A and B are shown apart, each in its own frame.
Chain A
């Protein structure tokens, strides 16, 4: 085997050499040196794996994005907290509020398809979705849990959140009564939607780890 022939097959050899190539290497210093050098480069390169550290802000940036995307979520509530009302957990209230908003969105949409706005009938027309609402308590179990969480994290804000929850609950209560008394009333439905939007916002802000 000549040096030219050896170099031609060298890329295909990998870590193993055939008998012919071994014989050539035994007799040719140049090719032997070449193979040794290439192996040394390959061996040394392995030490470069994972040898650099990124700057600390890379993690900070990742963490910010994870929080914004909701991939970092609140830890489980302490097991000793009282069982929430109706088996719902605190963290479900925000999507619940959003779901209720969507329900009312459906209601409003169906109103917009030409059903009587201020009809004298009291039962909703066929095909109209009405949410089976429970009257809003002044301060339900979920609200108390939220206040407990706020009180543990930022005691100074507890009074603010309590006052705001009372205000928003009163809004929901009045809006629900208005909507119940006339399910076809678009304005009443908008009040109710707005009231739930307020409640969802209060929960969002209380549970948002970016703010105390």
Chain B
């Protein structure tokens, strides 16, 4: 038994060494002009984007086998990098992990199937698209954030002065401290969780077909809110001032009203899921 165990361990070590030997690292540096646009297309593997000083885009790619290549193209304001799968590549052998450093004002476009995708501390626009990739965007300001996913979970944290649009079929969406002039989330079955102020006098729309919506706001939130679930239930922890609207509240399935100065507009709409407006 001991012999079999040590043999197995030996095999694992050999396999790991072989696997490690197959991985290669590729580094690329590009000088760019102001407000450059950076695009990474990577079917399998992680992409992480962070800011760095200067006008340079630095990319560090780890390729997991010889069945994938990294190609790139560049203009004065444009860097595009893509993983090119060779014959016979699959999710393991075709995997590339990217670590990308960009100027903070760069606009970023990321495409991946498996991900995960991570972006932080940027000021430019971003378009993030994944199939099953998890998406994590945090600490960004003043940009247009556009996220599309089939089933990957989406987390957006600490966004100010932004435009945020998220479309997810089945992936859950979590927004923490996200404020901006427009925050729109549209899911089919994914749950939506919002924890923030609904600030900036913005237009907030959280809509889902069958997912649940949980919105947590402070007592000082200044909102005009409409919530409706056709087949599910709705709850609120706040007393709302009635507003003069043709929207007809129906106890248990719809409510409408205002809090504070009603600076922001909030819509919480689910067809068959539960909606709960909670007090923080």
Interface residues of A (CB under 8 A from B): 57-58, 60-64, 116-118, 156-157, 160-161, 163-164, 167-168, 170-171, 174-175, 178, 187, 190-191, 194-195, 197-198, 201-202, 205, 208, 210-212
- Do B209 and A195 touch across chains, with their CB atoms under 8 A apart? yes
* Residue in A160, A171, A178 whose CB lies within 8 Å of B151: A160
- Do A60 and B72 touch across chains, with their CB atoms under 8 A apart? yes
Does B247 interact with chain A (Cβ within 8 Å)? Answer: yes
Residues of chain B within 8 A (CB-CB) of A170 are 209-210
In the complex the two chains form, what is the Cα distance from A170 to B71 in whole Å? Answer: 40
In the complex the two chains form, what is the Cα distance from A211 to B44 in whole Å? Answer: 10
Mask for B230-257, Cβ within 8 A of A = 1, else 0? 1000000000000000111000000000
Does B274 interact with chain A (Cβ within 8 Å)? Answer: no
In the complex the two chains form, what is the Cα distance from A178 to B247 in whole Å? Answer: 15
Q: How many residues of B contact A (CB 8 A)?
A: 41
B7-15, B45-53, B60-68, B74-82: which one contacts chain A? Answer: B74-82
Q: A167-B188, A187-B269 are in contact. Are A157 and B131 (CB under 8 A)?
A: yes
Residues B240-280 near A (CB distance < 8 A): 246-248, 267, 269, 271-272
In the complex the two chains form, what is the Cα distance from A198 to B150 in whole Å? Answer: 9
Residue of B nearest to A68 (CB): B39
Does B179 interact with chain A (Cβ within 8 Å)? Answer: no
Does B16 interact with chain A (Cβ within 8 Å)? Answer: no
- Do A64 and B269 touch across chains, with their CB atoms under 8 A apart? no
- Do A211 and B113 touch across chains, with their CB atoms under 8 A apart? yes
Q: A64-B39, A156-B91, A211-B129 are in contact. Are A171 and B82 (CB under 8 A)?
A: no
Distance to closest chain B CB from A197 (angstroms): 6
Q: Which 4 A-B pairs have the closest CB atoms?
A: A61-B73, A117-B246, A171-B209, A60-B73
In the complex the two chains form, what is the Cα distance from A205 to B209 in whole Å? Answer: 20
Residues of chain A within 8 A (CB-CB) of B205 are 190
